[in-house]
Amino acid sequence: MNTSYQEFKPSQALQPYVECYWLHQFEASTSAESPIQRCLPFGALELILHLDDNRAYALFDNLWQKLPQAFFVGLYRGTVHWKAVGTGRKFGIRLKPESIPQLFKMPIASLFNQFTDLETFFGREINHLIDNVHSLPDTNAVINVVETFLLMHLRNVSTERNYLFEATRLIRQAKGNLSIEALSEHLYVSKRQLERSFKDNYGTTPKLYQRIIRFRNAYESFEQTTTPNWLDVSYNFGYSDQAHFIRDFKEFSNDVPTLVFQDSGQYFRRPDRKRLSARA
C-alpha cells in the first residue's frame, strides 16, 4: 500500500481560526489495509471529509466501524485508532477550539471526546460543502471550495474581547506551560468563572486543555529529532520529572514515548519533519 500525508497552510484571513488543511491518501488493492494510524489528542477540532466513496474505519469498543462520509471531531483526551481499506482520500480541516464558537456561534461542549456526522452538528447547509468537494481530483480545488465556505462565516466573528478565546490562545502560546491561577489573574477573571466557561463551551476544563497542549508540544518536539532525550523533553516542557512526562504521555497516547516514536507505520499528522506544504 502506498500512503502519503500532507499539510497545507490556510489563507492569511483564516489563520486565526484554521491550523491547517491536510490530505491523507492511500493507494492499494481493494482489500489491502493500511497500517493502523493513531489520532492523538492535540487540542484541536477536526472537520473530516472522505473525498471518494471509500471510507476509513475507526476502532471503538474493540470493533472496527466504518466512519461517516463527512464528520466533525470535538476535543479529545484519548487516542483513536483508525485504518483505511483499499484506495481512498481523507481531507481534513484542523480548527482551533475557539473557531466554531466564533465562526458558527456554536459551543462544542457536547462533542468532547466524541464525533458526529457533519449534518447532525452543522445542519443541512454543510451538505453543499460535502457535495462540492466530493470526487474533486485536485487538492487546491478542494481547498478553494473549503476556504470559500469558511470565509463566508467571517462576518459572524465579533470584535469584542472574549476572555475564553483569549485564554485558549494564551495556553497555546505558552505551549501548555502556564498555570490556570496565573492565567486567571492575567485575564482578571476568577478561576471558577474560567473553568465554568471552558466546561460550557468546550466540554472540558482549562487544566485538561493545558495538559493536552503541553503533551502536543512535547510530542512535536521529539518528532523533529532522530534521537529524542526524554529527560530533556520533560525539562523543556515543564514536567516535574521524566516519570511525570511519561505518565502524562501514556495517558494521552495509550503508549510510552519510545514506542510511539518508533512506529514506522504512522503517517497521520506526520508531514516531512513538520514542514507545511505550500499551495501551488
Q: Is the pLDDT of residue 62 over 70?
A: yes
**Predicted confidence band of residue 271 (pLDDT cuts 50, 70, 90):** low
The pLDDT of 122-143, averaged and rounded, is 95
The pLDDT of 242-248, averaged and rounded, is 95
Q: Is 174 helix (H, G, I), strand (E, B) or coil?
A: coil
The pLDDT of 24-45, averaged and rounded, is 90
Whether the CB-CB separation of 114 and 74 falls below 8 Å is answered with yes
Q: Tell me how far apart the alpha carbons of residues 40 and 173 are, in angstroms, rounded to a whole number.
A: 20
Q: Which helix (H) or strand (E) holds 38?
A: strand 37-39
pLDDT at residue 31, as a whole number: 83
The pLDDT of 92-96, averaged and rounded, is 98
Q: Is the pLDDT of residue 274 over 80?
A: no
Grid coordinates in use for 45? 477540532
Q: Is the pLDDT of residue 13 over 60?
A: yes
Which residues, in sequence order, are bridge partners of residue 255? none
Q: Tell me how far apart the alpha carbons of residues 18 and 11 are, in angstroms, rounded to a whole number.
A: 9
| Domain 163-261 in the same topology as domain 2-156 | no
Average pLDDT, the chain: 92
- In this structure, what is the dihedral angle of CA atoms 116, 119, 147, 102, given to the nearest 10 degrees? -70
Q: Is the pLDDT of residue 82 over 90?
A: yes
Percent of the chain with pLDDT over 70: 96
Instruction: Domain 163-261: give its CATH superfamily.
Output: Homeodomain-like (1.10.10.60)
Indicate the domain borders of the chain: 2-156, 163-261
The pTM is what? 0.92
Q: Tell me how far apart the alpha carbons of residues 204 and 61 are, in angstroms, rounded to a whole number.
A: 22
Q: Is the pLDDT of residue 107 over 60?
A: yes
**Answer CATH for 2-156 from 2.60.120.10, 3.40.50.720, 3.30.1360.100, 3.30.300.180:** 2.60.120.10
Where do we find the cell 515543564? 238
